[in-house]
Amino acid sequence: MTLRNVWIIARKEYNSYFNTPIAYAMAAVLLFAIGVLFAGDVSYTMIFPDFVPGLERVVQIAVAMLIFILPAITMRLLSDEARQGTIELLLTAPVNDGAVVVGKWLGAVLFVLTVLSTTLIYPIMLNGMVQPGLDRGLLLAGYLALVLFTMTFSALGVAISAMFDNLVATFITTIAAFVLFWYFIGIPGSLGSGAVAEVSRYMSFIRYFEAMVGGAIQLTGLVYYFSATAFFLILATVILQSRRWR
């Protein structure tokens, strides 16, 4: 796998999003939702000048929406190739499967981060409207958490996209997997004790995410998200390779 091949695939994938309505629909929905929250915070600061809005709600809304938006972004990466019959061209091209997976994942991640970067206008505006201003450390930590979430769950989406030829099945399965990993995998850890609960706490995506949003950027959380991303990308590569034997 060469970086040049990865970048060529990523750039092609990134540009393709802007040739479809999905890019503009995603940006509009995300900006509208956060814009409504922004308007509410502005109104509240006018009534209560000492009120300094936090970024937790912005990040939480962004994540809640990404759980449903990311499946629409990632479902077409490999599933659509299989549906259109172009997956065979990819598999016979002089590019290894790992480069295909990483390139498509990177293109999707860069697109989502481009859209997310436009939401920075809201905290920047709020920073100039309230005193003493927003906590920049919390702002950076919150957006770092969003970047890591996007990286990891996009990788999971790519792995699921490699499993199916049907876009609807891919979309539904990806949402179900996102909800499972985000909301439910850590429940046993919060309800009990013992080995199972400990494993559940360690595997909880939301645990590390909330810690970062609160300003606690720990090496454990960074390693966890990067490891999960690598695992899902490797899984996607293995699934893609298995198509050669079908």
The ranges assigned to domains in the chain are: 3-245
* Cis check: omega of the bond before 49, within 30 degrees of 0: no
Model pLDDT for residues 96-135, shown as the tens digit of each residue:
878 888 999 999 999 999 988 888 877 777 766 666 666 6
Return the pLDDT at 148.
94
Tokens 């769950």: give the residue: 153
Instruction: Quote the percentage of the chain above a pLDDT of 90.
Output: 19
Between 152 and 133, the higher pLDDT residue: 152
Question: Please, which pLDDT band fits residue 5 given cuts at 50, 70 and 90?
Answer: confident
Between 56 and 230, name the one with better pLDDT.
230
Average pLDDT over residues 37-64: 71
Tokens of 65: 């929406």
Q: 35 or 158: whose pLDDT is higher? A: 158
Residue 123, classified by CB atoms within 10 Å of its CB into exposed (0-12), middle (13-18) or buried (19+), is buried
CB 198 within 8 A of CB 191: no
Question: How far is it, in rounded angstroms, from Cα 92 to Cα 187?
Answer: 44
